[in-house]
A and B are shown apart, each in its own frame.
Chain A
Amino acid sequence: MSAVASRSVAAALRSVTAADRVRDERAALETFAVDAIVPRWVARPVSVDELAAVMTVAAEERLIVAPRGSGSALDLGAPPARLDLVVDLSGLDAIVEHNADDLTVTVQAGRSLHALNRYLLAHRQFLPLDPPGEAHTVGGTAAAGLSGPLRFRYGTMRDLLLGVRFVQADGVVTWGGSKVVKSVTGYDVPKLMVGALGTLGVLGELTLRLHSLPEAERTWLVAVPSAAAAQALVASILDSTLQPNRIELNDHTLGAADAPLAVLVSFGSVMEAVVEQGERLARLARDAGGEARAVSGEWTTASDRVAGDRRTTLRVGSLPARLRSTFETLRRALGRIAGARSTLGAHTGLGLWRVTIDGATPEAIATAVAWLRDAVAEHGGYVVVTGGPVAVRRRVDPWGPIAPDALALMRAIKTTFDPDARLNPGRFVSGL
């Protein structure tokens, strides 16, 4: 594109937003780079209509578009194939409608999850999504499919997103789902947008189901002597009538340094029910050879806290009853990476593991991930590289293989929503 043409794109974007909300100077653009690929323009719409207008310009100019919330999950997925325009959604941060008595809220995609929950606190309500990190936007949490320990009780964005207003690749504003807590009117388009990494449309507004904050909440830590003991404990909790908010398996940074593993369980309810469940948990813990003690709720694990550009994170899908064997498989895989510091954690009630690897070469990580994929595939498990240096994600397909028949369907869907492949191309599964 010539300099003149480039200026005319900037002018077109400015004409549909505002002069100061389109950036095209090198220094500003560099801060919006995705995997070191610097966009040519950054546009910051402040309404869904402006977002649509920006996307219309992008369609006319055939620009490759990457939506961006807070930028906290930009290292999810493969490096982009190309990039022209970053659509910065941080200006779309309004609470559009809060129906407190209906426990629903409609927010713009750029609203931070923490800011939303701070607002909802006054109503004793919350959106029960707790991915590690402070910065995530609601739209980013949906697009990247992020979740945290609370998913054991409340599910994920998939279970909470009722309706979504998004802008298609051609600039058309589209609505899917509903604003009420139950609906089967039309296809469940909102589900398709969760975890799609912005490859099917740019999220503008999300209508969400809220929950009441539990009156009382307490957390217990059970230090257990082995993975086998952890598995026995988790199995006994799952097979009981206890109703935990969270069941996590953590590394030993939470005060149980003498034990190899810590199982953290929290209950949220009326106080008497919380206390009684704690007592029952203590009995189950003793049966499994551990000891339960009340701790302050601290759900950020060491693996979540390890910062820095060199860190690689994995999500490993397994089954709750395979806790011990998955743990041993992960230990073995990580042991093969020379010089690496690794940490482990799991939403263990659901069989989902989180791994952090620091200080390893991309080659070593690639080898370990490949080995791990083979090892867990036997039982229907999977490994996703959820973040890490671009060098790692160039060497390893972050998503892993997708079954050809399911992939064919995904390609057909992608073509339906984004026929020219201009939305985040190359970053999603199998290069979608």
Chain B
Amino acid sequence: MATLTADRKRALRTELEGMLGRGAVLSDPDELLVYESDGLTLFRALADFVVFPQSAEHVSAVVKLAHREGLPFVARGAGTGLSGGCLPAEGGIVLSLMRMNRVLEVDYDNQLAVVEPGLVNLHLSWKVGPKGYYYAPDPSSQQACTIGGNIANNSGGPHTLKYGVTTNHVLGLEVVMPDGEIVWLGGKTRESQGYDLIGVFVGSEGTFGIATKIVVRILKKPQAVKTVLAVFDEVDQASAAVSEIIARGLVPAAVEMIDQLTIGAVEDAFGCGYPRDAAAALLVELDGLAIGIETQAERIVAACRDSGAREVRTAKDEAERQLLWKGRKSAFGAYGRVSPAYMVMDGVIPRTRLPYVLRRVNEIVDAHGLRVGNVFHAGDGNLHPNILYDPRKPGEEARVVAAGAEIMKVCAEVGGSISGEHGIGLEKADFMPFIFSAADLALMQRLKHAFNPQGLCNPGKVFPTRKSCGEAGAVAYRPHAIEEQGLAQRF
């Protein structure tokens, strides 16, 4: 990528300001620094410009300019991603969509909403909550992450076990294509004719274009919720209980596992009521009709007890339930109590292989002389091993990256996936061959080319490249400055 001359950069800045207005364009290196990475600080890159469009027309104008100038560009939501997916290429334009954060329409009769991409996930549920509705996909970062970012990553969350991931909730998209044209895919009705462009766009990690309007389903809130905490003396027992719940055909809304190390961190930080001496705990949530929920809860309790749970209890009220969930959803932040840094993995495995894979994860991390905390969507088989380390100790980061690669390999070997919800981004691009053949990858490359023929829209992501091979293992994985000051946390 040719570096812009100072003169050219000034001229482009003037042009961008003409499009978007003053105060909507950043090009000062100090200001750009904020946008040099996402929730995964392993990778950093500086853009030439960060811009703040307020409409699809703004986005289109910026993209057309980038296209004309041959500048790479990438859309960015809240920057909570965990795979480096919204990093700029070195240089180019970052389009922050945070000023496009309106709920444009709520149609309760047809159970849908039209929103802008910069809307924070949880804010949609807040908006429709008073009428008894909510937006189902609930990433742990939902207080900060945006729905546009969720579209890019096809985000999940604890309750996607029962309700599906983002793609199952999107009906229509207005997209600014990589050449700047504005296209509608789908709409408000179910199904549209021709290829499922929405299906393939969601989860394309920002490489197919930029969604500027999003039509999502909203769901009626369940009548009743019941949350069960099961406590185990051995991790294997907790794993077996997960398999047992799924195999018995029970359909909880969420089944989350949290291990001893994580419990310790969470209890230190928040005191949520998890027993510190447990090897692992399962947080199982049932929702639906008030009637029948007791019967289902009894079966969950039985499945846990049959697997060796030493204690199984039900949250006695909403306050206790919220506290248990706070522990789960804040676990990543709590690791700060026990380690200066950590790296989160995102593999998925068949749920029946949980006991084996968790043992292997512990063996791998042990062998590298590291520690791991596990807190994850057990019901989906979506692991989140968090490898703890100290970036100031020479060589430790390299060991973390090596252990991570081995864990991903185990996930692939048991027939799983290397990412369940965080995306491939930069982080896992080199590991795609664990899952896909050269022919599979070549087809996906051609598919990308169909949407993004110039390759300017979020380049360097998803697919293995020589550049990312060179970076992996060599670049430091450091806590961000604001993390060190305790001002922010990874999700």
Q: Does B185 contact A (CB under 8 A)?
A: yes
Considering only residues 151-204 of chain A, those with a C-beta below 8 Å from chain B are 155, 158-159, 168, 172-176, 178-189, 191-192, 194-196, 200
Distance from B322 Cβ to chain A, minimum over Cβ atoms (Å)? 21
A319 touches B432 (CB 8 A): no
Closest residue of chain B to A123 (Cβ to Cβ) is B249
Q: Does A2 contact B (CB under 8 A)?
A: no
Of the listed stretches B227-235, B269-277, B288-296, B303-311, chain A binds B288-296
Q: Does B189 contact A (CB under 8 A)?
A: yes
**Chain B residues closer than 8 Å to A189, beta-carbon distance:** 200, 443-444, 447
Considering only residues 111-162 of chain B, those with a C-beta below 8 Å from chain A are 111, 132, 153-154, 156, 160
Q: Does B462 contact A (CB under 8 A)?
A: yes
Cα A187 to Cα B447 in complex, Å, equals 9
B291 touches A273 (CB 8 A): yes
Partner of B449, one of A103, A318, A416: A416
Q: Does B181 contact A (CB under 8 A)?
A: yes
Residues of A in contact with B, size category: 35 or more
> Contacts A182-B380, A186-B435 hold; do A413 and B420 have CB atoms under 8 A apart?
no
Distance from A231 Cβ to chain B, minimum over Cβ atoms (Å)? 10
B190 touches A101 (CB 8 A): no
**Chain A residues closer than 8 Å to B380, beta-carbon distance:** 180-182
Distance from B307 Cβ to chain A, minimum over Cβ atoms (Å)? 13
Secondary structure call for the B interface: loop
Closest residue of chain B to A349 (Cβ to Cβ) is B111
Closest residue of chain A to B164 (Cβ to Cβ) is A159
Q: Does A243 contact B (CB under 8 A)?
A: yes
Considering only residues 236-270 of chain B, those with a C-beta below 8 Å from chain A are 243, 246-247, 249-251
Cα A243 to Cα B293 in complex, Å, equals 13
Closest residue of chain A to B168 (Cβ to Cβ) is A159
B289 touches A241 (CB 8 A): yes
**Chain A residues closer than 8 Å to B243, beta-carbon distance:** 101
A241 touches B220 (CB 8 A): yes
A276 touches B440 (CB 8 A): no
* A/B pair count, beta carbons within 8 Å: 250
**Chain A residues closer than 8 Å to B189, beta-carbon distance:** 317-319, 351-352, 380-382
Partner of A124, one of B108, B111, B249, B377: B249
Q: Does B484 contact A (CB under 8 A)?
A: no
**Chain B residues closer than 8 Å to A184, beta-carbon distance:** 153-154, 165, 203, 417, 419-424
> Contacts A175-B440, A243-B289, A272-B291 hold; do A212 and B251 have CB atoms under 8 A apart?
yes
A406 touches B197 (CB 8 A): yes
Q: Does B364 contact A (CB under 8 A)?
A: no
Cα A155 to Cα B162 in complex, Å, equals 12
Most buried by A among B154, B203, B377, B449: B203
Closest residue of chain B to A241 (Cβ to Cβ) is B223
Q: Does B481 contact A (CB under 8 A)?
A: no
A185 touches B418 (CB 8 A): yes
Q: Does B184 contact A (CB under 8 A)?
A: yes
**Chain A residues closer than 8 Å to B200, beta-carbon distance:** 187-189, 191-192, 413
Distance from A123 Cβ to chain B, minimum over Cβ atoms (Å)? 9
Q: Does B416 contact A (CB under 8 A)?
A: yes
A100 touches B416 (CB 8 A): no
A192 touches B432 (CB 8 A): no
**Chain A residues closer than 8 Å to B196, beta-carbon distance:** 158, 191-192, 194-196
Most buried by A among B108, B221, B415, B422: B415
Q: Does A384 contact B (CB under 8 A)?
A: yes
Partner of B295, one of A272, A319, A351: A272
Closest residue of chain B to A156 (Cβ to Cβ) is B191
**Chain B residues closer than 8 Å to A432, beta-carbon distance:** 194
Considering only residues 425-448 of chain B, those with a C-beta below 8 Å from chain A are 428, 432, 435-437, 439-441, 443-444, 446-448
Distance from A432 Cβ to chain B, minimum over Cβ atoms (Å)? 8
A185 touches B195 (CB 8 A): no
Q: Does B325 contact A (CB under 8 A)?
A: no
**Chain A residues closer than 8 Å to B428, beta-carbon distance:** 185
Distance from A23 Cβ to chain B, minimum over Cβ atoms (Å)? 30
Q: Does B199 contact A (CB under 8 A)?
A: yes
Partner of A406, one of B194, B221, B416: B194
Interface membership of chain B positions 156-177, coded 1 if the CB is closer than 8 angstroms to chain A and 0 otherwise:
1000100011011000000001
Partner of A187, one of B132, B203, B349, B416: B203
Q: Does A102 contact B (CB under 8 A)?
A: yes
Q: Does A132 contact B (CB under 8 A)?
A: no
B111 touches A238 (CB 8 A): yes
Interface membership of chain A positions 389-422, coded 1 if the CB is closer than 8 angstroms to chain B and 0 otherwise:
0000000000110110111011011111100000
Distance from B210 Cβ to chain A, minimum over Cβ atoms (Å)? 15
Cα A269 to Cα B108 in complex, Å, equals 26
Q: Does A145 contact B (CB under 8 A)?
A: yes
Interface membership of chain A positions 260-272, coded 1 if the CB is closer than 8 angstroms to chain B and 0 otherwise:
0000000001101
Closest residue of chain B to A187 (Cβ to Cβ) is B444
**Chain A residues closer than 8 Å to B348, beta-carbon distance:** 178, 180-183
Q: Does A277 contact B (CB under 8 A)?
A: yes
B443 touches A174 (CB 8 A): yes
**Chain B residues closer than 8 Å to A124, beta-carbon distance:** 249
Q: Does A428 contact B (CB under 8 A)?
A: yes
Considering only residues 99-115 of chain B, those with a C-beta below 8 Å from chain A are 107-111
A101 touches B289 (CB 8 A): no
Closest residue of chain B to A432 (Cβ to Cβ) is B194
Q: Does A71 contact B (CB under 8 A)?
A: no
Cα A157 to Cα B289 in complex, Å, equals 26
Cα A245 to Cα B178 in complex, Å, equals 41
Cα A274 to Cα B254 in complex, Å, equals 22
Cα A239 to Cα B160 in complex, Å, equals 22
Cα A124 to Cα B423 in complex, Å, equals 34
Closest residue of chain A to B346 (Cβ to Cβ) is A184
Distance from B460 Cβ to chain A, minimum over Cβ atoms (Å)? 16
A409 touches B197 (CB 8 A): yes
Closest residue of chain A to B209 (Cβ to Cβ) is A409
Most buried by A among B109, B154, B221, B462: B109
> Contacts A182-B380, A191-B196 hold; do A176 and B249 have CB atoms under 8 A apart?
no
Q: Does B193 contact A (CB under 8 A)?
A: yes
Partner of A410, one of B191, B194, B251: B194
**Chain A residues closer than 8 Å to B291, beta-carbon distance:** 272-273, 276
> Contacts A402-B193, A416-B450 hold; do A380 and B187 have CB atoms under 8 A apart?
yes
The interface of chain A, by Cβ under 8 A from chain B, is 99-104, 124-125, 145, 155, 158-159, 168, 172-176, 178-189, 191-192, 194-196, 200, 211-213, 235, 238-243, 269-270, 272-273, 276-277, 317-321, 350-352, 380-382, 384, 399-400, 402-403, 405-407, 409-410, 412-417, 428-430, 432
Given contacts A239-B220, A412-B451, 16 further A-B contacts (CB under 8 A): A100-B247, A175-B440, A178-B348, A183-B420, A184-B203, A184-B423, A185-B432, A191-B196, A277-B289, A317-B191, A318-B189, A352-B189, A402-B194, A406-B183, A413-B200, A417-B443
Across the A-B interface, the 4 shortest Cβ-Cβ residue pairs: A191-B199, A212-B249, A273-B292, A321-B109
In the complex, 22 of the A-B residue pairs with CB atoms within 8 angstroms, ordered by the A residue number, are: A101-B351, A125-B249, A178-B348, A180-B380, A182-B377, A182-B381, A183-B420, A184-B165, A184-B421, A186-B424, A187-B203, A238-B109, A238-B220, A243-B288, A269-B292, A273-B288, A320-B110, A382-B193, A407-B194, A416-B449, A428-B194, A430-B194
The interface of chain B, by Cβ under 8 A from chain A, is 107-111, 132, 153-154, 156, 160, 164-165, 167-168, 177, 181-185, 187-197, 199-200, 202-204, 220-223, 243, 246-247, 249-251, 288-289, 291-292, 295-296, 348-352, 377, 380-382, 415-424, 428, 432, 435-437, 439-441, 443-444, 446-451, 462
